Amino acid sequence: MRLALIVDFVALLISLVSVVVTGVLVGVLGLQQAYGYIKAVKRLFIEALVAFIVIDVIFLVRRFSPLDEATTIIALRLMYSLTLFTAATMGSAATIIYRRPKSSIWRDIYGDAVRFLPFVSYTSILFILFILGWALPLNVALRSCPASQVGVYVPILESQHIAALSISFVAFLIYPTSIFLLASYAVKNVSLSRDLRMFAASVIGIALSNYLQVFFLIGCFAEAVDLTRIPCFITLTYVFRRTTALQSFRDVEIREYIQQLRRRKL
């Protein structure tokens, strides 16, 4: 009984810390001054963070109000979809920062991203995995956890599930990370280059947490996956600690462009 209470308290604490840290980051991003294509980047970051908050809420509901078999399957599919959504939004944000579209119109911003073949390939993979996530049969089994007084339904992973998870992990790990690193090499500003490398490091942690999430769900302590995400969100909060941090990507680009024009005139 005491062990169950301790485990529940630790799980609750981890989930609440994750929600608070993520919420703080959403608030910090909400205060960011953003113009042009940076507004799209800001919105994408916020959407990804909201998806993670929803996942934490599902964790809390699952632990303190155990779901039945049918509801568990729906919840698992929803969490899988949300992780794919975060992969798509982070990949989109990385692409926009790397491409630096000239127009500030939303249609032109995303139109420029669609013309980037690696991005199209990446999003196509995620879309196929999303369809498979809802089309493939998913079974669950009732498991009695040693540190809990109630049983919970856990997913039964088969080879096709492992394959889909592995493909999404590799795609998320490689594409946004590579694009953020390429963007860091493209800018001459040392501070922005460092921030982009920190983005890349955070993506690695988030991709790992997305992959491990389902395996933690099989166990009795699914909330432990937040231990991987929390440091990533703290890192991003540090990057965006100034209200002008996000807009500085755009401002530095404009300054570099003006400097190039001046050199040509000289």
What are the extents of the domains in the chain? 2-265
The secondary element (H helix, E strand) that includes residue 21 is helix 2-30
Q: For 139, phi and psi rounded to 5 degrees?
A: -110, 150
Entry pTM? 0.88
- CATH fold of 2-265: Rhopdopsin 7-helix transmembrane proteins (1.20.1070)
Strand, helix or coil at 250? helix
Structure confidence at residue 116 (pLDDT): 93
Structure confidence at residue 242 (pLDDT): 83
pLDDT in tens, 132-179: 999 999 999 887 765 556 678 888 989 999 999 999 999 999 999 999
**Buried/exposed code over 178-216 (b: 16+ C-beta within 10 A; e: otherwise):** ebbbebbeebebeebbebbbbbbbbbebbbbbbbbbbeb
Structure confidence at residue 259 (pLDDT): 52
Structure confidence at residue 8 (pLDDT): 74
Structure confidence at residue 4 (pLDDT): 67
Structure confidence at residue 34 (pLDDT): 83
pLDDT in tens, 53-100: 999 998 888 877 778 899 999 999 999 999 999 999 999 999 999 988
pLDDT of 261 over the 50 cut: no
pLDDT in tens, 168-203: 999 999 999 999 999 998 887 888 889 999 999 999
Q: For residue 11, what are the CA distances in angstroms to 128, 154, 226, 239?
A: 33, 17, 10, 28
pLDDT in tens, 2-57: 666 777 788 888 888 999 999 999 999 998 888 888 889 999 999 999 999 999 99
Question: Distance (Å, rounded) from C-alpha 87 to C-alpha 171?
Answer: 9
